């Protein structure tokens, strides 16, 4: 009876201690993570790296807390580590994808093909990078959808970073009819490109005949804008081109079918 009482008191005490360590440890982890966030903010670390470090630190502290609680129940850390080591092979094989995603996240942070805030197109999706986490990256689409892409996919595929440079070039195609004055149409488009407030003049706009279409020549307007002004410039320039060509009497062709009927005697 005494042995049972001693056994119960011993393990009851360990259980109480383990719960106390768990509760206090969780609070300490929260405090440490908040301290890390403030420290990282002061150092002005890249936002992409902040998210990655916070997630990694949280995982490491949680594992340390579990080991500490296990030790309070009399489980030897060396024994526990041996068990974990023996199980790690099976877990590693089961989670090959997760390990690849982790490695992909490290590569993204080291090579920096993109960062938080960039608008990218990769792995069949496009959107603004909101978070680069340990195993996946989160994109936000223009229509406010959340896309979660594994880091291994992003690190092993071709990607377009639309935010990499301060300026972007647009190629706007303006078709006109064969019956219209090509040189007059070209001058109208050039004048718009040279006077539009959002079109950069360095590099200078290029207005050329790009191709001969089925219904007439196609004018290419290759114009540059600041990255932040790109879409505003693009849509406004298209509207101005249409209005200016109509005002100048330049015909914009459209698909049509001409039927010729021959009478036979």
CATH number at residue 117: 2.30.30.60
pLDDT of residue 75: 64
Asked whether residue 222 falls in the same domain as residue 238, the answer is yes
Whether the CB-CB separation of 223 and 237 falls below 8 Å is answered with: yes
Domain contains 127 = yes
Asked whether residue 6 falls in the same domain as residue 89, the answer is yes
Q: Which domain holds residue 222?
A: 167-247
* pLDDT at 80 > cutoff 60: no
Domain contains 253 = no
pLDDT of residue 93: 46
Report the chain's mean pLDDT, rounded to a whole number: 81
Count of the separate structural domains present in the chain: 3
Asked whether residue 21 falls in the same domain as residue 90, the answer is yes
Domain contains 254 = no
Whether the CB-CB separation of 93 and 140 falls below 8 Å is answered with: no
Domain contains 258 = no
Q: What is the pLDDT of residues 143-190, one digit of tens each?
A: 999 999 998 888 888 889 999 899 999 999 999 988 888 999 999 999
- Domain with residue 192: its CATH number is 3.30.70.100
User: How far is Cα 32 from Cα 105, in angstroms, rounded to an integer?
Assistant: 23
* pLDDT at 41 > cutoff 50: yes
* pLDDT at 221 > cutoff 90: yes
Asked whether residue 177 falls in the same domain as residue 125, the answer is no
Phi, psi for residue 179 in degrees, rounded to 5 = -80, -10
Domain contains 99 = no
Asked whether residue 143 falls in the same domain as residue 212, the answer is no
Domain contains 255 = no
Domain contains 31 = yes
Task: For the chain, give the DSSP string.
Answer: -HHHHHHHHHHHHHHHHHHHHHHHHHHHHHHHHHHHHHHHHHTT--HHHHHHHHHHHHHHHHHHHHHHHHHHTT--HHHHHHHHHHHHHHHHHHTHHHHHHHHHHHHHHHH-S--TT-EEEETTEEEEEEEE-SSEEEEE-TTS-EEEEEHHHHHTS-EEETTSSSEEEEEEEEE--TTS-HHHHHHHHHHHHHH-TTSBSSSPPEEEEEEE-SSSEEEEEEEEEEGGGHHHHHHHHHHHHHHHHHHTTPPPP------------
User: How far is Cα 114 from Cα 129, in angstroms, rounded to an integer?
Assistant: 8
State how far Cα 35 lies from the chain centre: 27
User: How far is Cα 20 from Cα 62, in angstroms, rounded to an integer?
Assistant: 15
Residue with more model confidence, 78 or 16: 16
Asked whether residue 134 falls in the same domain as residue 50, the answer is no
Asked whether residue 151 falls in the same domain as residue 198, the answer is no
What is the average per-residue pLDDT within 122-147?
A: 90
Asked whether residue 14 falls in the same domain as residue 73, the answer is yes
Q: What is the pLDDT of residues 15-34, one digit of tens each?
A: 777 777 788 878 887 887 77
- End-to-end, the C-alpha distance of the chain in Å comes to 125
Asked whether residue 85 falls in the same domain as residue 121, the answer is no
Asked whether residue 89 falls in the same domain as residue 10, the answer is yes
Instruction: Single out the residue in 68, 94, 120 at which a domain terminates.
Output: 94
Instruction: Single out the residue in 76, 94, 112 at which a domain terminates.
Output: 94
Asked whether residue 20 falls in the same domain as residue 84, the answer is yes
Is the entire prediction scored with pTM above 0.85? Answer: no
User: How far is Cα 133 from Cα 73, in angstroms, rounded to an integer?
Assistant: 34
Sign of CA dihedral 12, 17, 20, 25: negative
Asked whether residue 14 falls in the same domain as residue 86, the answer is yes
pLDDT of residue 216: 87
Listed residue (145, 188, 157, 180) closest to 252, CA to CA = 180
13-22, 27-36, 97-106, 113-122: lowest mean pLDDT where?
A: 13-22
- Domain with residue 18: its CATH number is 1.10.287.1260
Q: What is the pLDDT of residues 181-204, one digit of tens each?
A: 899 999 999 999 999 999 999 999
pLDDT of residue 209: 92
Instruction: Single out the residue in 139, 161, 183 at which a domain terminates.
Output: 161
Listed residue (174, 125, 167, 172) closest to 145, CA to CA = 125
Domain contains 220 = yes
């Amino acid at each position: 009876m005494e042995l049972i009482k001693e056994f119960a008191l011993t393990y009851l005490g360990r259980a109480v201690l383990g719960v106390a360590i768990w509760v206090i440890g969780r609070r300490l982890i929260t405090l440490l993570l908040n301290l890390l966030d403030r420290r990282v903010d002061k150092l002005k670390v890249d936002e992409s790296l902040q998210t990655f470090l916070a997630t990694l630190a949280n995982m490491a502290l949680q594992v340390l807390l579990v080991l500490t609680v296990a030790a309070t129940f009399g489980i030897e850390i060396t024994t526990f580590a041996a068990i974990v080591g023996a199980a790690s092979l099976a877990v590693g094989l089961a989670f090959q994808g997760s390990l690849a995603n982790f490695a992909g996240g490290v590569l993204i942070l080291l090579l920096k093909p993109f960062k938080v805030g960039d608008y990218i197109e990769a792995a069949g999706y496009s959107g603004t990078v909101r978070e680069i986490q340990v195993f996946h990256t989160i994109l936000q689409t223009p229509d406010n959808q959340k896309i979660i892409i594994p880091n291994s996919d992003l690190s092993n595929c071709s990607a377009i970073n639309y935010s990499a440079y301060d300026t972007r070039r647009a190629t706007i195609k303006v078709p006109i009819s064969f019956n219209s004055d090509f040189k007059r149409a070209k001058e109208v488009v050039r004048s718009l490109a040279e006077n539009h407030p959002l079109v950069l003049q360095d590099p200078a706009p290029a207005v050329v005949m790009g191709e001969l279409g089925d219904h007439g020549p196609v004018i290419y307007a290759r114009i540059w804008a600041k990255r932040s002004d790109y879409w505003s410039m693009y849509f406004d320039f298209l509207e101005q081109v249409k209005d200016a060509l109509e005002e100048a009497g330049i015909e914009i062709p459209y698909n049509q079918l001409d039927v010729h009927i021959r009478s036979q005697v």
